[in-house]
């Protein structure tokens, strides 16, 4: 997701903007959006107020850019795992990728999109709508992968890939949240493995 503003920037301008967004992302995910002030971001990104306001008219604009940034990050990883999805082995490899990332960060932070969604859903309707779109893109990657498996005969024709994709995304989100709370990977592992077992009942 690239905003129209970005395309008009010079290389240096774009680098400054990217640094502001990356810094805002880190702070907002560590502390929550409300606990992060424009001043905190300015200070951490080492930019002046006028520089920051040159790129973002207010905190809301920055929140939207953070959502886009995190969507790019999360979907980037998910593309890695899901673009070649055509077998149960590939599905299992994707599961290991997601669990592996959680292990690397010691179960800290939860899913960036899930955290932003929970933080903003009731206070910022535009952010909620934007995050709904991000989740829809992720779900579509899963759906397309499962549909590819069905076309190859790995899944039977009656497998509802819409439902399976949505159920798997829910399991991933719930598993990540419980893993964040417990600081252990088991919730995510058990949630994903159970959903994989469920998908396997449709094996062709």
> Residues interacting with a second copy, by CB under 8 A?
29-32, 34-35, 108-110, 114-115, 117-119, 121-123, 128, 131-132, 135, 163-164, 166-167, 169-175, 177-178, 180-182, 186-188, 190-191, 193-195, 197-198, 201
Give min distance, CB of 201 to a second copy, in A. Answer: 6
Rounded to a whole number of angstroms, the minimum distance from the CB of residue 96 to a second copy is 18
Residue 90 C-beta: closest distance to a second copy, Å: 20
Q: Which is nearer to a second copy, 81 or 175 (CB)?
A: 175
Question: Which string of DSSP letters, residue by residue, matches 131-173?
Answer: HHHHHHHHHHHHHHHHHHHHHTTSB-TT--HHHHHHHHHHHHH
Q: Of 45 and 113, which CB lies nearer to a second copy in the complex structure?
A: 113
Give min distance, CB of 50 to a second copy, in A.
27
Which residues, other chains included, contact 74 with Cβ-Cβ below 8 Å and sequence gap of 6+? 111, 112, 113, 134, 138
Beta bridge partners of 155: 203
Q: Please report how close the Cβ of residue 161 comes to a second copy at its closest, in angstroms.
A: 12
Q: How many CB atoms lie within 10 A of CB 135?
A: 18
Output 90 or 191, the one with its CB closest to a second copy. Answer: 191
C-beta closer to a second copy: residue 72 or 163: 163
Round the CA-based radius of gyration of the chain to a whole number and report it: 19
**In contact, 64 and 127? CB cutoff 8 Å:** yes
Output 82 or 177, the one with its CB closest to a second copy.
Answer: 177
Other beta carbons within 10 angstroms of residue 77's beta carbon come to 13
- Distance in Å, CB of 126 to a second copy, minimum: 13
Helix (H, G, I), strand (E, B), or coil: what is residue 66? helix
Phi and psi at residue 156, to the nearest 5°: -70, 160
Q: Which is nearer to a second copy, 13 or 32 (CB)?
A: 32
Angle of CA points 154, 186, 194, to nearest 5° = 30
């Amino acid at each position: 997701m690239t905003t129209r503003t970005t395309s008009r920037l010079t290389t240096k301008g774009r680098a400054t903007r990217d640094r502001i967004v990356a810094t805002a992302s880190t702070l907002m995910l560590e502390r929550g959006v409300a606990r992060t002030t424009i001043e905190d971001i300015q200070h951490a990104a080492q930019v002046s107020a006028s520089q920051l306001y040159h790129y973002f008219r207010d905190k809301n604009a920055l929140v939207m850019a953070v959502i886009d940034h995190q969507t790019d990050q999360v979907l980037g990883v998910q593309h890695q795992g899901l673009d070649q999805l055509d077998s149960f082995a590939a599905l299992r490899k994707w599961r290991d990728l997601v669990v592996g990332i959680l292990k690397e960060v010691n179960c800290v932070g939860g899913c960036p999109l899930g955290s932003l969604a929970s933080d903003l859903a009731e206070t910022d309707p535009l952010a909620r709508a934007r995050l709904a779109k991000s989740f829809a893109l992720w779900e579509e990657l899963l759906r397309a992968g499962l549909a590819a498996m069905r076309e190859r005969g790995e899944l039977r024709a009656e497998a509802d890939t819409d439902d399976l994709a949505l159920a798997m995304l829910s399991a991933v989100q719930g598993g990540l949240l419980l893993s964040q709370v417990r600081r252990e990977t088991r919730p995510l592992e058990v949630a994903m493995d159970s959903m994989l077992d469920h998908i396997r009942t449709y094996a062709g």
